[in-house]
Amino acid sequence: MYYVYVLQSEPDTGLYIGFSTDLKQRLKQHQDGESRATSHRGPWTLIYYEAYSMREDALGREKFMKSGAGRKHLAKQCMHHFEKNPPRGKDDVV
């Protein structure tokens, strides 16, 4: 399986969108500060993920989720979460 996932930083409420073949292990790496991109902003909460059987589909979806249209989609999918936990910055979720 291939996963596209969205994390929200507990300290600064910013979002991180990523891709992994082992979601459980990848989340542990984020929590343990082993990912350079996220080590200074943890702990993290997994707020959304999608699973794919084809790598190309997951990578395409990750790219989409990082776009403006993808962020709008995420805002709709996670509307109730973001009402209680608004992300920082205008670019995080529209």
Which whole number is the average pLDDT over 57-68? 97
Residue 85's Cα: distance from chain center in Å?
Answer: 14
pLDDT, mean of residues 64-82: 96
**Does this model's pTM top 0.85?**
yes
pLDDT score, position 88: 85
Chain position carrying tokens 């962020």:
71
Structure tokens at 59: 């990578």
Tens of pLDDT, residue by residue over 13-22, are 999 999 999 9
For the domain with range 2-84, which CATH number is right: 3.20.20.70, 3.40.1440.10, 3.40.718.10, 2.20.28.120?
Answer: 3.40.1440.10
The DSSP-derived string for the chain is -EEEEEEEETTT--EEEEEES-HHHHHHHHHTT--TTTTTT--EEEEEEEEESSHHHHHHHHHHHTSHHHHHHHHHHTHHHHHHSPPSSTTT--
pLDDT of residue 90 exceeding 70: no
Whether 94 has a pLDDT exceeding 50, the answer reads: no
